[in-house]
Amino acid sequence: MIKTFDILNKDKLSLTELDNLKSIFSEDGVIILDNLIPISILNTIKYKIEEDLNKFIKKKTWIGGGLVIGHINAIPPLTKSFIFPEILCNNLLHQISGKILNARTINLDYSANINLPKSTRQLFHSDDSSMHNEIIMISIPLGNVNELNGSTEFIPKTQYEPFNRKKTSRLESERANTINGSAIVWRPSVWHRGTYNFSDKPRIMLNIKHTSINSKIHLSTPPLLLNRNCIEVLDKSLDKINLKLADLPDSETIFSKNYFNSGINGFLREISYKFTILIYDKIIKKL
Whichever domain contains 202, its CATH number is 2.60.120.620
Instruction: Based on the fold, state whether residues 155 and 272 are members of the same structural domain.
Output: no
Helix ranges (H only) for the chain are 15-28, 39-59, 65-69, 85-88, 91-101, 165-168, 216-220, 231-234, 264-275, 277-282
Instruction: Based on the fold, state whether residues 238 and 284 are members of the same structural domain.
Output: no
Whole-angstrom Cα Rg for the chain: 19
Compute the CA torsion angle 125, 127, 133, 135 (nearest 10 deg). Answer: -140
| Pairwise CA distance, residues 83 & 100, whole Å | 26
pLDDT in tens, 202-233: 999 999 999 999 988 888 899 998 888 888 89
Instruction: Based on the fold, state whether residues 16 and 155 are members of the same structural domain.
Output: yes
Written as one string, the DSSP assignment of 89-120 is T-HHHHHHHHHHHTS-EEEEEEEEEEE-TTPP
> Residues 34-43: what's their mean pLDDT?
97
Helix ranges (H only) for 102-230 are 165-168, 216-220
Instruction: Based on the fold, state whether residues 92 and 221 are members of the same structural domain.
Output: yes
Instruction: Based on the fold, state whether residues 59 and 165 are members of the same structural domain.
Output: yes
pLDDT at 270: 60
Instruction: Based on the fold, state whether residues 221 and 161 are members of the same structural domain.
Output: yes
pLDDT in tens, 94-143: 999 999 999 999 999 999 999 988 887 888 999 987 767 899 999 999 99
| Identity of the amino acid at 245 | L
3 state SS of 254:
strand
pLDDT at 260: 47
* Residue 251 pLDDT class (50, 70, 90 cuts): confident
Whole domain around residue 13: which residue ranges? 4-256
pLDDT at 286: 53
Helix ranges (H only) for 155-226 are 165-168, 216-220
Instruction: Based on the fold, state whether residues 271 and 151 are members of the same structural domain.
Output: no
Q: How many domains does the chain have?
A: 2
pLDDT at 268: 67
* Residue 201 pLDDT class (50, 70, 90 cuts): very high
Distance set, CA 43 to CA 11, 118, 171, 223, 261 (Å): 22, 23, 36, 26, 31
pLDDT at 66: 45
pLDDT at 275: 58
DSSP code at position 178: B
pLDDT at 261: 47
> Residues 174-198: what's their mean pLDDT?
96
* Residue 17 pLDDT class (50, 70, 90 cuts): very high
Instruction: Based on the fold, state whether residues 13 and 65 are members of the same structural domain.
Output: yes
pLDDT of residue 263 exceeding 60: no
pLDDT at 87: 96
Instruction: Based on the fold, state whether residues 110 and 181 are members of the same structural domain.
Output: yes
Instruction: Based on the fold, state whether residues 249 and 203 are members of the same structural domain.
Output: yes
Instruction: Based on the fold, state whether residues 116 and 135 are members of the same structural domain.
Output: yes
Element at 144 (helix H, strand E):
none
**How far from each other are the two terminal CA atoms of the chain, in whole angstroms?**
34
pLDDT in tens, 40-82: 999 999 999 999 998 887 775 554 444 346 788 899 999 899 9
Instruction: Based on the fold, state whether residues 270 and 221 are members of the same structural domain.
Output: no
Neighbours of 76 (CB within 10 A): 23
Nearest to 145 by CA among 122, 119, 115: 115
Compute the CA torsion angle 193, 56, 48, 78 (nearest 10 deg). Answer: 80
* Residue 194 pLDDT class (50, 70, 90 cuts): very high
Compute the CA torsion angle 234, 238, 241, 245 (nearest 10 deg). Answer: 80
Percent of the chain clearing pLDDT 90 (strictly above):
61
